[in-house]
Amino acid sequence: MSTHPITRAVEKYNRTIEQAEKERTRAFQEVAKEGVPQTEIIEKSGYSRETVRRILKPEIVEAQKARRRKS
């Protein structure tokens, strides 16, 4: 059975976004590990402080989500 072209397009888009986010996370974590300050990452990327924090420390975000689920 053939998948509808729209469904295929959405699936391809989602895979592309997921891959791009993984690459962005690796790059941000790599430069942070090299000692680049978070403020410089914010400045160069144009992302907010909160977005950069979430990218650099995903374990904090997960812990917050877990606490909210328990409440």
pLDDT in tens, 14-65: 999 999 999 999 999 999 999 999 999 999 999 999 999 999 998 887 787 7
CA gap 15, 4 in Å, rounded: 17
Tally of domains in the chain: 1
Which domain range does residue 38 map to? Answer: 5-70
The position carrying tokens 């977005």 is: 51
pTM of the model: 0.75
CB atoms closer than 10 angstroms to residue 41: 20
Q: Is 36 helix (H, G, I), strand (E, B) or coil?
A: coil
Burial of 18 (0-12, 13-18, 19+ CB in 10 A): exposed
* Amino acid, res. 59: E
